[in-house]
Amino acid sequence: MATKQTNSLARLMMAPSVILLLVWMVVPLAFTLWFSFQQYNPLNPIRDGFVGFSNYLLFFNNPAFIASIINTLLLVVSVLLITVIGGILLALLLDQPMWGQGFVRILVISPFFVMPPVAALVWKNMLMHPGYGVFADMARFFGLQPIDWFAQYPLFSIILIVAWQWLPFATLILLTSLQSLDGEQKEAAEMDGAGVLSRFCYLTLPHLARAITVVVLIQTIFLLSIYAEILVTTNGGPGYASTNLPFLVYQKALLEFKIGQASAGGIIAVILANIVAFFVMRYAGRNLDR
């Protein structure tokens, strides 16, 4: 029943958001695309100019690039596996009747609200420090050699920290979904003599499918751009052992001033994110139709 007047008013109300986001998306990205075909170094302006695809070739031929792609994927997939499987188990546990459920929930969700630098530094220093950390104290208590986590298993250490940050998110979403499962259905299945395992496989898991998809998609967006956790712990090292794609691009751009290569890396990151975004959008779009 919208009149012409309300329609144009509606357009006016949407304009600021649309224009801002359009500018924010198009202008910097256009710059990056342009830079990715340029030789550009702010410290050495003499050799600037168009260089075709050579930045991309340089980036691809850099051993750090392959390492960073592998690390990025390892980081994303490992954290997803830990948080989704751990999240399902934890959600099933928290869904049981118990005393103090509200308080348990508060404890479990808390790590999600801890800012990344705090999470990473607390784990690095107070838990995983080879000399004074809690893990080292525990190892010595059991008569074992303390592990120098960030020197021996740099990427795994970061995976552990990031999984700790995101496990609460997965748990919370899955628990919310679990609580919307029809109790009568569960009882009916129980009366029909369905065992715990078959009830989980044929009733609970299909019900959770939607929430699991959401968890995987949302987390992937954030996990593809992990940055602060690496910066304050390993700084990408030793070597490139814990460098992911965002961190490599940051190093190229702001530490080495190889703007062309950094921009090529940025465009590759965009392509990677777009593959994920495609699935997110399809999912969100379907959800909007209901």
Residues 104-123 that bind another protein (CB under 8 A): 104-119, 121-123
- Helix, strand, or coil (residue 65): helix
Confirm if 28 and 233 have CB atoms less than 8 A apart.
no
| Residue closer to another protein (CB basis): 155 or 215 | 215
How far separated are the first and last CA of the chain, in Å rounded?
Answer: 21
Phi, psi (degrees; rounded to nearest 5) at 53: -90, 10
The window from 52-60, 144-152, 193-201, 280-288 that contacts another protein (CB under 8 A) reads 280-288
Task: Please state the closest distance from residue 165 (CB atom) to another protein, in A.
Answer: 10
What is the smallest separation between the CB atom of 150 and another protein, expressed in angstroms? 11
Instruction: Enumerate residues 72-111 that contact another protein by CB under 8 A.
Output: 90, 93-94, 96-101, 104-111
For the bound state, the minimum distance from the C-beta of residue 284 to another protein, rounded and expressed in Å, comes to 5
227 near another protein, judged by CB under 8 A: yes
According to CB under 8 A, which one of 2, 46, 191, 197 is a site residue for another protein?
2
| CA-based nearest residue to 56, from 37, 71, 41 | 37
- Position 145, amino acid: Q
Contact call for residue 265 and another protein (CB under 8 A): yes
Handedness of CA 199, 202, 206, 212 (dihedral sign): positive
Q: Does 262 help bind another protein (rule: CB under 8 A)? A: yes
Sequence letter at residue 265? G
Give the chain's radius of gyration (CA, Å): 24
Span from 58-66, 168-176, 186-194, 198-206 in contact with another protein (CB under 8 A)? 168-176
CB 197 within 8 A of CB 263: no
Nearest residue (CB) to another protein, 202 versus 227:
227
